[in-house]
């Protein structure tokens, strides 16, 4: 079984699918927060939009320290009983579930107390998310050394996660309505408790499913000695001098910034700009699911032919056109074109998100190829950190724009300035972000041939370590 782990073999198809169930839990929690936490803070908890944005920003300052530290801790972990990654997922998942529930709990206290409560619970959620996410997102690097197949593994991972996205986007609002409505605090608590229990159990199941793969590594002694000889500054330097990683961060980070603003604004857009058509949100969840299932079939040959650099460039270019369609169609309330734009954007993001996640693992290999030390979890921690930074900055930015344009949570209709701001947050901001993504991929150092050369080099290095 060690052959599968240290580079001479491949994880079975069953291993891949069972491990990937963990992404259902990831997205059940992440999408619920990404889509609805801003609305919950402003319309249920009663926080001013600008204050809600500040909560996210402060939590990210904490992540600036905890995420890379967690990555280094995971890289140095090598337990004889539970391996490298599973201990963090299994023991961290219940705490993450509790943190998730606390986020959507409304205490009966004064406004200053609610603000303090929001800070404490969001930081707690962010810390528990770090403990679970970094090891889970690093795990695929042990399932395959083949870059194209590893991209397909990410497609399976994302495909199962897309089911959770569909559950949140298409079922959360009907569930809230069943329990009392989107403006009922008790309804939010009930829905989130259900999601938290399901997510926690599946997290643990997913980690246990790879117990034959995530085992003690008897060859890790020399590598860990090398890590111990590296200071924290040297470890971080190995991250920030990784050109491939920096290009992915620029491309993925700006794309995620646009997407997270778009997701948080959708409920506002359909409620106010489209005359209360929240029912249209339900259909978008199914788009992501279809996109994810299609990619399981076609992403491996797509990457074999084009590579990540050219593939992401194509998708980002089409995304710009999709945003332009929404910019033109929304003021006319052309539901057909509006929905076509949202469908296209949702479908395209699923592809770029998948390719970017796979590129992070390539960045870990790139670092190992250059330094001889596999700081895989440290590299992956940059992904979780950038993900959360984009979530925070986008929420702060959106909250600030809503505040200065006169958003009023108690009003049934919003001012023309607020309506225009919501539209621009969904169109102009993403267009600018996509342009930065294109710049990142222009400087991406690996062509498809470069990916193949790196794959061969990493296999050679892993084989040498075993001998």
pLDDT digits (tens, 9 = 90+) for 189-233: 999 999 999 999 999 999 988 888 887 777 665 555 554 555 566
pLDDT at 195: 97
pLDDT at 1: 35
Q: What CA–CA distances, in Å, run from 282 to 20, 151, 167, 262?
A: 24, 29, 9, 15
pTM above 0.75, yes or no: no
294-342 pLDDT per residue, tens: 888 888 888 888 889 999 999 999 999 999 999 999 999 999 999 999 9
pLDDT at 370: 82
pLDDT at 6: 40
- The answer to whether 429 touches 72, Cβ cutoff 8 Å, is no
Please list, in sequence order, all residues whose beta carbon lies within 8 angstroms of the beta carbon of residue 348, skipping any fewer than 6 positions away: 315, 318, 319, 322
What are the 10-residue block averages of pLDDT along the chain, 467 residues in total? 43 88 94 90 90 84 82 86 90 97 93 95 93 88 80 88 87 93 94 97 91 74 52 67 90 88 87 88 78 84 88 94 95 93 88 87 86 81 79 81 89 92 94 94 92 87 71
Kindly state the tokens that stand for 258.
């646009």
Kindly state the tokens that stand for 137.
């997102």
pLDDT at 132: 94
Q: Phi then psi for 373, rounded to 5 degrees?
A: -120, 130
C-alpha 379/C-alpha 333 separation (Å) is 44
Region label for 314, one of left (φ > 0), alpha (ψ between -120 and 50) or beta (otherwise): alpha
Q: How many CB atoms lie within 10 A of CB 294?
A: 15
pLDDT at 176: 95
CA 246 to chain CA centroid, Å, is 17
Rg (CA), the chain: 22
CA 281 to chain CA centroid, Å, is 20
């Amino acid at each position: 079984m060690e052959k599968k782990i240290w580079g001479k073999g491949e994880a079975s198809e069953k291993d891949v699918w069972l491990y990937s169930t963990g992404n259902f839990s990831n997205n059940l929690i992440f999408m619920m927060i990404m889509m609805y936490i801003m609305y919950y803070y402003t319309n249920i908890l009663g926080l001013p939009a600008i204050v809600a944005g500040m909560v996210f920003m402060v939590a990210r300052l904490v992540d600036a320290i905890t995420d890379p530290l967690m990555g280094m801790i995971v890289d140095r972990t090598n337990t004889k009983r539970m391996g490298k990654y599973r201990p963090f997922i299994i023991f961290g998942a219940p705490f993450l579930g509790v943190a998730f529930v606390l986020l959507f709990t409304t205490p009966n206290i004064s406004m200053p107390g609610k603000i303090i409560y929001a800070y404490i619970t969001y930081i707690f959620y962010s810390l528990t998310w770090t403990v679970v996410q970094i090891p889970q997102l690093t795990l695929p690097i042990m399932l395959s050394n083949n870059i194209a197949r590893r991209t397909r593994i990410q497609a399976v991972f994302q495909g199962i996660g897309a089911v959770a996205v569909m559950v949140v986007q298409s079922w959360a609002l009907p569930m809230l309505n069943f329990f009392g409505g989107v403006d009922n605090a008790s309804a939010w608590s009930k829905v989130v408790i259900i999601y938290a229990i399901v997510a926690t159990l599946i997290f643990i199941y997913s980690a246990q499913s790879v117990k034959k793969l995530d085992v003690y590594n008897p060859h890790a002694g020399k590598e860990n000695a090398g890590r111990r000889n590296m200071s924290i500054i040297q470890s971080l330097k190995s991250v920030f001098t990784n050109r491939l990683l920096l290009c992915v961060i620029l491309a993925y980070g700006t794309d995620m910034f646009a997407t997270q603003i778009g997701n948080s604004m959708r409920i506002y857009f359909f409620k106010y700009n489209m005359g209360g058509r929240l029912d249209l949100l339900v259909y978008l969840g199914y788009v992501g699911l279809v996109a994810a299932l299609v990619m399981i079939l076609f992403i491996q040959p797509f990457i074999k032919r084009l590579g990540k650099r050219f593939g992401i460039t194509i998708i980002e270019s089409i995304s710009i056109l999709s945003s332009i369609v929404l910019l033109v169609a929304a003021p006319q309330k052309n539901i057909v074109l509006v929905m076509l734009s949202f469908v296209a954007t949702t479908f395209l993001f699923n592809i770029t998100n998948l390719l970017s996640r796979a590129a992070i693992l390539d960045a870990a290999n790139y670092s190992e190829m250059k330094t001889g030390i596999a700081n895989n979890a440290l590299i992956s921690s940059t992904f979780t950190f950038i993900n959360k930074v984009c979530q925070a900055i986008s929420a702060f930015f959106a909250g600030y724009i809503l505040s200065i344009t006169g958003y009023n949570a108690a009003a049934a209709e919003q001012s023309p300035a607020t309506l225009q701001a919501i539209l621009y947050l969904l169109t102009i901001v993403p267009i600018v972000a996509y342009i930065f993504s294109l710049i990142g991929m222009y400087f991406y150092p690996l062509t498809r041939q470069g990916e193949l050369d790196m794959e061969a080099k990493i296999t050679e290095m892993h084989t040498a370590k075993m001998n």
